[in-house]
Chain A
Amino acid sequence: MGTRSSVVILSEWDIVAARQLGRNEAREVGFGTVDQARITTAISELARNIYIYAGKGKIEIERISERGSIGIIITASDEGPGIPDVRKVMEDGFSTSGGLGAGVPGVRRLMDDFKLDTVLGEGTIIKATKWIR
């Protein structure tokens, strides 16, 4: 396990702070410009989901190295209402916020590994990993 940094999400400005942190970390770790854009975009979507649906939460960014591979794990956690129908939010085009609905399935496509844990009334944790190819 490597270094870890985090941003608490409370306002729209924290979404900006989270993606700036992510972009800087991605650049320092050695990701190319396309992967930097993927990571920045994924963080922006996850941070916005926290802001819209939970009101408060945290984005953590951790550098990892495993069997000679280097990567970044983004963890988005909140203690919001949880997701009632996970299968539905994983469908393209589904959104309850009036957005484009690109959020969660989009993040899964941008990243290499994706894991979502949610408990109704307790909150949601999403872990998304990107490896340097």
Chain B
Amino acid sequence: MKLRIPILKLKDCLIVSVQWELEDQTALQFQEDLLNKIHETSARGVVIDLTPIDFIDSFIAKVLGDVISMSSLMGAKVVITGIQPAVAITLIELGIRLEDVMTALDLENGLEKLQRELEA
């Protein structure tokens, strides 16, 4: 059974809403799918919304960090949105720093931030 995370296109951006707990294969599949979609659509920005996610372990954090770097190599900027308080606390306690990662409180703020970045 392989669940795939849907990736939506809105103008020159891609929107990803992660709706369920990420397991390893889904996360790795998502990495590939997102990069292919950036290639297909020539998207310049991506918002990944994690609002429903209630924990992130070091593996998922690594996959997320990697996909942000990979997207950047392809010329697309990524904003992470919707990190819950419990997730922020456990990530830092775990010792994970997602440095140089653009973040915003929610999808709306994330899209605004991305638009500003792309216009700059």
Asked, given contacts A15-B24, A106-B93, A109-B93, whether A36 binds B59 with beta carbons under 8 Å apart, the answer is no
Contacting residue for B90 out of A34, A101, A105, CB 8 A? A34
Q: Is A58 an interface residue (CB 8 A)?
A: no
How distant is the Cα of A106 from the Cα of B58 in the complex, in angstroms?
A: 9
Interface of chain B residues 45 through 84 with chain A (CB within 8 A): 54-59, 61-62, 84
Asked, given contacts A34-B89, A92-B95, A109-B93, whether A102 binds B23 with beta carbons under 8 Å apart, the answer is no
Q: Which residues of B contact A110 (CB under 8 A)?
A: 90, 93-94
How distant is the Cα of A41 from the Cα of B84 in the complex, in angstroms?
A: 14
Q: Is A83 an interface residue (CB 8 A)?
A: no
Q: Which residues of B contact A44 (CB under 8 A)?
A: 55, 57, 59
- Contact indicator per residue, chain B 82-100, by CB within 8 Å of chain A (1) or not (0): 0011110110011110000
Size range of the interface on A?
20 to 34
Interface of chain A residues 1 through 38 with chain B (CB within 8 A): 12-13, 15-16, 19-20, 23, 33-34, 36-38
Closest Cβ of chain A to B114, distance in Å, is: 26
Chain A: CB-nearest residue to B24: A12
Q: Which residues of A contact B87 (CB under 8 A)?
A: 37
Q: Is A40 an interface residue (CB 8 A)?
A: yes
Q: Is B32 an interface residue (CB 8 A)?
A: no
Q: Which residues of A contact B95 (CB under 8 A)?
A: 92-93, 100-102, 105-106, 109
Residues of B in contact (CB 8 Å), total: 22
Closest Cβ of chain B to A95, distance in Å, is: 9
In the bound complex, do residue B90 and residue A38 qualify as a contact, i.e. CB atoms below 8 Å apart?
A: yes
How distant is the Cα of A20 from the Cα of B61 in the complex, in angstroms?
A: 18
29 interchain pairs (CB within 8 A)?
A12-B23, A12-B24, A13-B23, A15-B23, A15-B24, A19-B57, A33-B84, A33-B86, A34-B86, A37-B86, A37-B87, A38-B86, A38-B90, A40-B54, A40-B55, A41-B55, A41-B90, A44-B57, A99-B62, A100-B96, A102-B58, A102-B94, A102-B95, A105-B95, A106-B95, A109-B93, A109-B95, A110-B93, A110-B94
- Give B residues with C-beta under 8 Å from A: 21, 23-25, 54-59, 61-62, 84-87, 89-90, 93-96
